[in-house]
Structure 1
Amino acid sequence: MKKIILILTAFLSIAVSKSMAEVTVNDTILVLKNVNVLDVAKGKFIKRKSLTIMDGKIAAIGNSFKTDQPIKTIDFKGAFLMPGLIDVHVHVTSNFKNNIENTYSHLNYFLKHGITSVRDAGGDGDALLKASTAINAGEKSGPDVYYSSFMAGDWYYNRGQNIRKEPYTAWQQRLMPGDDLDKAMIWAKSVGVTGVKLYHSFDAQFLPLVTSAAKRNGLKVWGHTMLYPASPVDVVKSGMEVLSHVSMLETLRKPDTLFNRRTTTNTYRDSVVAGIDITEFCNEMKKHNAILDATLCVSVDRDPWVLKLLKRVHQQGVKIATGTDQIVDLKSPYPRLLDELNYFVNDCGFTNAEAIRSATLIAAEVIGQEKNIGSVEIGKRANLIVLKENPLKDIAALKDIEVVIKAGKLQTN
């Protein structure tokens, strides 16, 4: 037992700098002994199992693993193992004159706190390609990065006055009826994007043409819940796969001149939002297997009514993922994703298991990686976290991480 403790101590004391460092096991097979393994789908832990990692993937759960290769075993004495967390709405670059070192710092911060994958929902595509390439090569430490090409209609950029002077880029494009949409998607893919983010100024007629072109070119289709003028229902029907911002569902309300006035009370706004009929929207979301990226963190202080609104959407069975839409505060002891999960559990009617599923398996679906990450299954990438306490009993247990594992490599500060 003392030998096992010494091995673990050695792993956890390797790093000497503030950046995350990888504990490289080379060709060694890693066995995590005596871990309670989370079954994400069932929402329960399987008690006291061993998990074997080989070549960056989960090779076995609970069974003895026969091999001629060296095996490194760590006894976690009943700690809780689950998939790494995923924030599906981050921004880690500036759109102009990005400082790549800031990008690296933000990504390192995410990994340090158990976020093993992120979706950047609109940023400098060249910088994101550089960062993700460096991370994948092991030159920098951070989560797996998935990112988008930001696309909007002409009115968003120019307001009918030819305002925009900067040239468009592969990762920031203007789309208009009559454009060669396939060409636009191919250009987007040239900077390594996973999907497109449709932001503003799309109508119900043009929007389906854009979503079809994106899918035809192998891109995920992400965007705002309201696309001005396309309504939330129009957006879902167009084939959008992931819709961001539950707050935008307020556009489904009846015309009301008081709602957006600064002097209007929250009590009044609550009553208006409570009267919004979200049935058609939710039915269309379920019919199209679409996902809502709620982003409570970005709106709850200004619009606390979003909590009750998301609770209603959740009650209707819509898939909901965890995105924060927040700039990283490196001085904060915990990432905002944990606040998002706390809102889910304490204000929006989610069980702990449902909230965790939103931050793992459903979030993996957002980025098209549900077959590779998001749950603890044989053959999936070993992006994992080991917790000291049970997050199904207290969601705050996600703050107390014992070990972060990314692609089979243990990480430490």
Structure 2
Amino acid sequence: MPTKPRACHSAAKLICRNWLFLFCCSLASTSLTAQEGNVTPFAVKADDNIVIYHNANVLDENGQAFTAKMSVIVTGDKIQALKPANQISANELKSAQVINLSDKYLLPGLIDSHVHLATPPNDLFAKATMRRQAYHGITGIRIMADDLRPITEYARASIAGEIAAPDIYSAALFAGPDFFNDPRTIAANGGIKPGTGPWMQAISDETDLTIAIAKAKGSGAMAIKLYDNLKPELLSKITQAAHQQGMAIWAHGMVFPTEPKDVVAAGVDVISHTCYLAYQASDPKPLTYKNRFPVNAALLQTGDNHLMETLFASMQQQNIYLDATLTVYQQYDQRLAANPQMSPKPHCSLSLAATLTQQAINKGVKIATGTDHIMPRSSAFPALFDELELLAKHTKLSPLAVIQAATLNGAYILKQQDNIGSITAGKLANMLILNADPSADISKLRDQYMTVKRGFMLKPQDMPNITELEMPDEQ
């Protein structure tokens, strides 16, 4: 797990200073522009603006139950206090904007823990995707490797209230040099040679890891994503070096050729895609990401494979979260059903992914809710709602446990648990308000009254429609 950050060596300090100088100059420039009249239609109008969300059923800060007849007092973009509604004084009600939420259900804003928005960059598409997320209760997203040049600007614009969007937390990608002929890396590195930009770096045994990580940090990333073509010893060194600079490590379940047990042993913070972990029980194992093949389902479908038991126990002991992405495997199933002759065949099914996810849950592994999927324009809701419903249907997680995975757990993997993830005084006013109780039926998350993002109110019926220009129909 992350160790206490240490100072960079002198070369890395210079890199840090140079990148941070450029970043701060950019922020200063945009700040001046805002002061000169930048439009911020999605920001609260004053830091001392007080809103009382009154008499609601509020999810407690541990995500265990809704408490009736509670009021949340928001000042500016922060939660100031949470009290029983009958303890709100007449003077408090008189001095605030009051939103009466009798019979409504108030919970933290949701977090999609696996999103790609700029591979390749498409400004209209990205902003439409984020708009749909923000208007439907998603107040945070984890970017899992993209061109961070536009992503960092979206993150700034979201915080400033210039666009309707979740808060954005990004990773830079590290992989071996052979990975960077992948068309996606070419698309995400326009104007430069893939593997040479700070947001997507080709890493070898000769790489100065301290400098490489400092560059990634300077590009706006808060984490390193380990993707492909990294051997166990190098993967472990990257993890240790990143933790020393206060960077999280997010990894695939298998970072080919490094097998899952060695990814776990390195002490990464989050592992994505349940079925990549299934390669631990496969013999042989794929040597590269590009040459993946189906996992050995026969060894895994009963949900008690001893190799997986050992692997999940190790994840639990090290507090490594699992970003299951059941939506990905649902998509595989749908593509295979539409084209039974497709080649290569998907490496895993939804049924097997769910079985393995439940096995991980049984061993105490904490789940995060990522999608790695963007719904077409015709869908009213973002993919996260499918992911939450799949978890509730195909595992033994209760609806409230699924909501906890999408709120508190999402906050922890972002190292933002002090700022988001629960309805707690001092945290950001990121909230989802529902018309119905989701604790017995997870689909009630779709019955939405309002999203509050950093104190700003967004009602789903007010969302501008996504146009065909923004999000063309799939061919």
1:322 aligns with: 369
2:418 aligns with: 371
What is the distance in 2 between the residues matched to 1:363 and 1:87? 8
Matched AA of 2:179: Y
1:291 partnered with 2:291: no
Equivalent residues of 1:250, 1:273 under 8 A apart: no
Q: Aligned match of 2:125 in 82, 89, 102?
A: 102
SS of 2:100's partner is strand
Query: Would you tell me which structure has more helix in proportion to its own residues?
Result: 2
1:271–1:318 Cα change, 3 Å: closer
**Aligned-residue offset at 1:33:** 0.6
What is the distance in 1 between the residues matched to 2:67 and 2:381? 27
1:45–1:383 Cα change, 3 Å: same
Matched AA of 1:282: F
Q: Aligned match of 1:403 in 438, 450, 468?
A: 450
Tell me the C-alpha RMSD between the 2 structures. Answer: 2.6
Matched AA of 1:39: D
What is the distance in 1 between the residues matched to 2:324 and 2:194? 31
1:34 aligns with: 55
Q: Alignment length, in residue pairs?
A: 385
Q: Aligned match of 2:391 in 323, 338, 344?
A: 344
Equivalent residues of 1:253, 1:272 under 8 A apart: no
Q: Which moved more, 1:29-38 or 1:228-237?
A: 228-237
2:311 aligns with: 281
2:20 aligns with: none
SS of 2:449's partner is strand
2:400 aligns with: 353
1:92 partnered with 2:117: yes
State the TM-score, normalizing by the size of structure 1: 0.87
The C-alpha deviation readout for 1:228-272, integer Å capped at 9, x for no partner, is 122212111112000100011220114279xx988x997x57648
What is the distance in 1 between the residues matched to 2:389 and 2:277? 21
**Aligned-residue offset at 1:278:** 1.3
1:213 partnered with 2:238: no
Query: Would you tell me which structure has more strand in proportion to its own residues?
Result: 1
1:171 aligns with: 199
1:332–1:276 Cα change, 3 Å: farther
The C-alpha deviation readout for 1:204-247, integer Å capped at 9, x for no partner, is 21111101111122211111111112221211111200010001
**Aligned-residue offset at 1:77:** 1.2
Identity of aligned residues (%): 31
The C-alpha deviation readout for 1:134-182, integer Å capped at 9, x for no partner, is 11122111000111101101232369xxx99546211110111121111
What is the distance in 2 between the residues matched to 1:394 and 1:271? 27
1:76–1:187 Cα change, 3 Å: same
**Aligned-residue offset at 1:355:** 0.5
2:162 aligns with: 139
**Aligned-residue offset at 1:78:** 2.2
2:34 aligns with: none
> For residues 224-303 of structure 1, what are the structure 2 equivalents within 5 Å?
224-255=252-283, 268=298, 271=301, 275=305, 277-300=307-330, 301=333, 302=346, 303=349
SS of 1:86's partner is strand
Equivalent residues of 2:230, 2:255 under 8 A apart: yes
Matched AA of 2:88: S
1:311 aligns with: 358
The C-alpha deviation readout for 1:299-339, integer Å capped at 9, x for no partner, is 23251211111111111110110000113423212211111
SS of 2:392's partner is helix
1:53 aligns with: 74
Q: Aligned match of 2:178 in 155, 162, 167?
A: 155
**Aligned-residue offset at 1:380:** 0.9
**Aligned-residue offset at 1:353:** 1.3
SS of 1:49's partner is strand
2:28 aligns with: none
Equivalent residues of 1:252, 1:276 under 8 A apart: no
1:128 partnered with 2:151: yes
**Aligned-residue offset at 1:105:** 1.2
**Aligned-residue offset at 1:371:** 1.2
Equivalent residues of 2:42, 2:163 under 8 A apart: no
1:176–1:314 Cα change, 3 Å: same
What is the distance in 2 between the residues matched to 1:272 and 1:49? 45
Equivalent residues of 2:282, 2:296 under 8 A apart: no
Consecutive unaligned residues in structure 1, runs of 5 or more? 1-19
What is the distance in 2 between the residues matched to 1:40 and 1:216? 31
Matched AA of 2:316: K
**Aligned-residue offset at 1:402:** 0.2
What is the distance in 2 between the residues matched to 1:167 and 1:47? 53
**Aligned-residue offset at 1:193:** 1.0
1:41–1:222 Cα change, 3 Å: same
Matched AA of 1:142: A
1:118–1:44 Cα change, 3 Å: same
2:338 aligns with: none
Matched AA of 2:98: T
Matched AA of 2:435: K
1:64 partnered with 2:88: yes
